[in-house]
Amino acid sequence: MKPSVNINILIIDDHPLNIDAYKNLTKHNLEGKEFNFIEATSCEEAYNVIKFKNLNKDKIDYAFIDYNLPSYSDKKIFNGLDLSIFLKKKFKDCKIVFITMHNEPAIISSIVQAINPDGLISKSDVNFESFKEIINTIFIQNGKYRSSSIVKAEKTITANILDWDEYDYKIVELLVAGEKTKNLTKYIPLSLSAIEKRKATIKKQLLTNNGNDTDLIIEIKKRGLL
């Protein structure tokens, strides 16, 4: 009889109740498997876990990641997406499942553009039955899963035909959050002139006449992009 192989699952969420729920649901839907759950509640804690595992030549097979997490500004890791990019650099075969409160098209598209996760799920879509389908699709069938709210958000982006990449989405997200253009280089690895050119292109796509940042933000919200 072959020995059981441990599956290492990293769960990153700043709410311990969510971590416990994901652990219990995973165990319930994958009976007979041996699990090693690794927990983190912030970007800094998760960064250190990932780095430690990598240095010790260990593995991380799966990761459940929330989008909104306490940031680790020293390493320019501000949310779950930044963290997942770092995770993929260290463990390229790790299957990432985003479970997030966000279903805004701009944020969803930024996640897809950056890492195209194996699972992308709105927390509002998660229940006992849907989690069974999530586990079956990703863990057993080796497929990709999108929940209903995420599918709707992706259709909205397709309808707008914007052809943005992850930096364009990040610019939009930060502007709506109230960041000034001059500060965007703190979060995006581009020069200020490159960011300004991208912002000008975004304005041309969305505004019928020359508008300011306020006009742009209003149009973004009106189209449901954020």
In the chain, what are the domains?
A: 6-157 (3.40.50.2300), 162-222 (1.10.10.10)
Give percent above pLDDT 90 in the chain.
Answer: 63
Q: How distant, in Å, are the alpha carbons of 157, 211, 222 from that of 160?
A: 5, 19, 12
Q: How confident is the model at residue 83 (pLDDT cuts 50, 70, 90)?
A: very high
42 touches 78 (CB < 8 A): no
Q: Round to whole Å and give the CA distance between 14 and 197.
A: 36
> For residues 50 and 130, what is the distance between their CA atoms, to the nearest angstrom?
28
pLDDT for 22 equals: 93
Asked if the model's pLDDT at residue 159 lies above 80, the reply is no
Q: φ and ψ at 167, to 5 degrees?
A: -70, -35
Decide if pLDDT at 2 tops 70.
no
pTM: 0.76
pLDDT in tens, 139-150: 999 999 999 989
Determine the length of the chain: 226
Burial group, residue 137, by CB count within 10 angstroms (0-12, 13-18, 19+): middle
| Per-residue confidence (pLDDT) for residue 161, from 0 to 100 | 64
Is residue 74's pLDDT more than 50? yes
Q: Is the pLDDT of residue 3 over 60?
A: no
Integer Cα distance of 62 and 59 in angstroms: 9
pLDDT at 1 over 50: no
Q: What's the pLDDT at 129?
A: 86
Q: What is the pLDDT of residues 13-49, one digit of tens each?
A: 999 999 999 999 998 888 777 889 999 999 999 999 9
Q: Would residue 66 be called left, alpha or beta, if left means φ above 0 and alpha means ψ between -120 and 50 degrees? A: beta
* Listed residue (120, 55, 63) closest to 88, CA to CA: 63
Judged by DSSP in three states, 118 sits in: coil
Q: Check: CB of residue 50 under 8 Å from CB of residue 65.
A: no
* Maximum mean pLDDT: which of 27-41, 82-96, 124-138: 82-96
- In this prediction, residues 71-80 reach a mean pLDDT of 94
Q: Average pLDDT, stretch 158-187?
A: 86
Question: Residue 80: pLDDT band by 50, 70, 90 thresholds?
Answer: very high
Residue 110 has a pLDDT of 86
